[in-house]
Amino acid sequence: MMTIRVLFLAAALILGACSNDKQAVSSITQAASSAPAKPDPVAHKARIALVMKTLTNPFFIEMEKGARKAEQENNVELLVKTATQETSIEQQIQIVDEMIAAKVEAIVIAPGDSLRLVPILKKAQDAGIKVINIDNRLDPEALKKNGLAQVPFISVDNERAAYQSAKFIADPIKKPTQVAIFEGIRSADNAQQRKNGALRAFAENKHIRIVAQESANWKIDEARELAKTVFKEHPDIQAVFCANDMMAIGVMEYLREAKHAPVAIAAFDALDEAKRAIKEGQMSVTVDQQAAEQGYQGVMSALRALRGESLPDTIQVDARLVTKESLQ
């Protein structure tokens, strides 16, 4: 009897051990099946370069702030590089070449020129670097000609926003009036789009005659000097569209120095100095194109590209008119 009881207990222990083994095997199989098929390709600290035109324009200081926010929220090492001036295109090309040599994984670029940066960015893409275009669009035909793969573009609708800005000063005009347009760098796509928007707005008012259309290359000093010439030749100008706030500031400086009669000024960028000028009645309107949001979206898009996600060709940021009423 004792022998039978011993044998029964031994059999129960063996069966229990087999059951535990089966549970352990089942648990391991479940854990293996729930693990990701491959590791996150940017689980490491991604090295991303933000290449901008300059930091002498507060617009790009705001752009960097947005990019830094994306850096802080994610596993990113952000290298911020800028040229000395917005017209320093060769320097910007050199910076991109240096970033290629530094083996960054992505370049987020606000190019100073829509054509001349394309070949060096092709070199970056050939080196396996993701390229994201912000602020000023690279020329689509040049991209195609140089064989660049998809380069996502992040910005506002420059033509539409400039149209709205210029229309704000054009609509109140009810008698024959001379106006002027101060353009940005003419080889930059955003300068061309803003010029086109202003031309469209002014063309809709039969009382408006454009008597001057010149480039001040985005700069305060050049705009101030250009204003001296333009207003000397056309002293009856009563409204001016400037393709950025920096040039508008230059025009306002000239008007103050010359003690000129008030002129309606529309611009673009919503810099703090422009907002103050609007509050004080020296400027009529500007455009907030959310520079910080462009910088933020640029870095986030680079991270998405590094993860292998597909990106749209264009990511549009909202543009907003800034007027005295909106600032109250």
Q: Assess whether pLDDT exceeds 90 at residue 136.
A: yes
Does 117 share its domain with 167? no
Q: Assess whether pLDDT exceeds 80 at residue 146.
A: yes
Helix and strand counts by DSSP (H, E) for the chain: 11, 12
Does 150 share its domain with 264? no
Could you tell me the residue range of the domain that residue 271 belongs to? 158-288
- The residue among 263 and 26 whose pLDDT is bigger is 263
Does 232 share its domain with 257? yes
Q: Does the residue 23 lie in any domain? A: no
- 8 Å CB contact between 137 and 114: yes
State mean pLDDT over 95-100: 98
Q: Is 111 helix (H, G, I), strand (E, B) or coil?
A: coil
Does 189 share its domain with 132? no
Q: pLDDT per residue over 201-259, tens digit each?
A: 999 999 999 999 999 999 999 999 999 999 999 999 999 999 999 999 999 999 999 99
For tokens 């229309």, the residue is 167
Q: Does the residue 138 lie in any domain? A: yes
Which residues, listed in sequence order, are joined to residue 80 by a DSSP beta bridge?
Answer: 50
The beta strand positions in the chain, using DSSP E, are 46-52, 76-82, 106-109, 130-134, 153-155, 177-183, 208-215, 237-242, 264-266, 285-288, 314-316, 320-323
Residue 36: per-residue pLDDT: 33
Does 297 share its domain with 151? yes
Does 185 share its domain with 284? yes
Alpha-carbon distance values, 19 to 13, 50, 122, 271 (Å): 10, 59, 62, 72
Residue 28: per-residue pLDDT: 23
Closest CA relative to residue 106, chosen from 314, 309, 301: 301
Mean pLDDT estimate for the chain: 89
Q: Assess whether pLDDT exceeds 90 at residue 7.
A: no
Give the separation between CA 292 and CA 268, rounded to whole angstroms: 15
Q: Does the residue 323 lie in any domain? A: no
Closest CA relative to residue 250, chosen from 266, 230, 229, 226: 226
Residue 154: per-residue pLDDT: 98
Q: Does the residue 189 lie in any domain? A: yes
Does 61 share its domain with 171? no
Q: 307 pLDDT band (50/70/90 cuts)?
A: very high
Q: Does the residue 2 lie in any domain? A: no
Which residues, listed in sequence order, are joined to residue 183 by a DSSP beta bridge?
Answer: 215
Q: Does the residue 4 lie in any domain? A: no
- The string over 164-196, giving b where at least 16 C-beta atoms fall within 10 Å of a residue's C-beta and e elsewhere, is bbbbbbbeebeeebebbbbbbbebbbbbbbbbe
CATH number at residue 261: 3.40.50.2300
Residue 44: per-residue pLDDT: 84
Residue 29: per-residue pLDDT: 26
What type of residue is 192? Answer: Q
Q: pLDDT per residue over 171-211, tens digit each?
A: 999 999 999 999 999 999 999 999 999 999 999 999 999 99
Q: Does the residue 311 lie in any domain? A: yes
Q: pLDDT per residue over 8-39, tens digit each?
A: 333 433 334 434 333 332 222 222 233 333 33
Closest CA relative to residue 248, chosen from 229, 263, 233, 236: 263
Does 151 share its domain with 162? no
For tokens 């507060």, the residue is 58
Does 176 share its domain with 88? no
Q: 56 pLDDT band (50/70/90 cuts)?
A: confident
Residue 43: per-residue pLDDT: 66
pLDDT above 70 coverage of the chain, percent: 87
Does 167 share its domain with 278? yes
Q: Does the residue 222 lie in any domain? A: yes
Does 147 share its domain with 104? yes
Question: How is residue 116 written in tokens?
Answer: 């001349």
Number of domains, the chain: 2
Does 312 share its domain with 281? no
Give the separation between CA 246 and CA 115, rounded to whole angstroms: 23
